[in-house]
Amino acid sequence: MAERTKPHHRRLRWILAFGGAGVMLTCLYFAFFQWRPVGSGPAVPSELFQHVWSDRDVLLFSIGDSVTAGLGAASREHSYFNRLLRNPVDEYEDMRGRCLSTVFPHVESLNLAVSGSTSLMHIETLRNRLDIQPETTFGIVVMTTGGNDLIHNYGRMPPKEGAMYGATLEQAKPWIANFEERLNAMIELIDARFPGGCDIFLADIYDPTDGVGDAPSVFLPPWPDGLKVHAAYNRVIHECAAARPNVHLVPMYETFLGHGSHCAQFWRSTFRWEDPHYWFYYNIEDPNDRGYDAIRRVFLLKMIEVLGKSELATNPIRA
């Protein structure tokens, strides 16, 4: 007659089985929901950085929020604005020499971006702090605006214009219309301050949830209409860029999709098989150091497309 398994042995087997399953589930959870390695941004060709694009006086000017101010970058030199201007000493090898000071030897800079600012503040900053530039100066303008309009005040109080988190799409419609009017007024102000001409590089707003629309942090309440309101703001930005020949859309939304809070979840349509990496800072709403590198690269790619083409040789931006 076979000897029966002792009760304490059976209990031990169940404990080991459940313990092993728990460890496996924990590992899977961290792998797909919490593991967020960083990667690299898009490649920037080197050919056009081998010669000067213009000998004119150029002002690299920015208006915007914490993304353009550089919150979350490893150092001030690592912000996308400063990386656009010149390479930091610890620059990635594939980006050495690929900056605006290489192709515009007479470039100056002015960054009026402020962390936490909204589009309501940006238009006042332009009115009060951007002087009319000399006619000999060409403006290269970079902008990130509207992101804080959406996420403030993180659901801690009823939504309002400039602090819309938690709003329904219907509730947000008049605020979206006001943003459209305000954005166009900002563009007109910038144009007026650069009588020598300018090109405006306007970024759309990324989505830290990778298109899922869930709260990217346990500290934030759910926002059922969040993606709809976010998409409406981006439509305004896209239409503004499409309507003006000197305003150029920088696709920050598309660039960051798949690099947010769900970047490791391979079953999602946004998963980046070639680069499944996390590009956001610990506060979730700003880029991390690799994210700022990616933003710098996508701005440069758009600038190459607009300013670095050989057919622009007769454009007034060139000496």
| Residue-range domains of the chain with CATH | 51-309 (3.40.50.1110)
Separation CA 279–CA 40 (nearest Å): 9
**Residue 274: strand, helix, or coil:** coil
The pLDDT confidence band at residue 306, using thresholds 50, 70 and 90, is: very high
For residue 82, what are its two tokens? 């400063």
Q: Is pLDDT above 70 for 217?
A: yes
Mean pLDDT across the chain, nearest whole number? 88
For residue 156, what are its two tokens? 């801690």
For residue 90, what are its two tokens? 């610890």
Query: Cα dist. 75→66, 252, 300 in Å?
Result: 14, 21, 20
pTM of the model: 0.86
pLDDT of residue 43: 85
Query: Cα dist. 127→63, 130, 131, 138, 182 in Å?
Result: 12, 7, 9, 19, 12
* Structure confidence by residue, pLDDT tens digits, 29-76: 444 444 444 445 678 988 889 999 999 999 999 999 999 999 999 999
The pLDDT confidence band at residue 308, using thresholds 50, 70 and 90, is: confident
What is the average per-residue pLDDT within 73-94? 97
Q: Decide if 208 contacts 253 (C-beta within 8 A).
A: no
The pLDDT confidence band at residue 8, using thresholds 50, 70 and 90, is: low
Write the single-letter amino acid at 286: D
Separation CA 240–CA 248 (nearest Å): 9
Q: Beta-carbon neighbour count of residue 214 at 10 Å?
A: 14
249 φ/ψ angles, rounded to the nearest 5 degrees = -70, 130
Q: Decide if 224 contacts 171 (C-beta within 8 A).
A: no
For residue 150, what are its two tokens? 């959406």
* Structure confidence by residue, pLDDT tens digits, 261-292: 999 999 999 999 999 999 999 999 999 999 99
Beta carbons within 8 Å of 224's beta carbon, 6+ residues apart: 168
Q: Decide if 88 contacts 77 (C-beta within 8 A).
A: yes
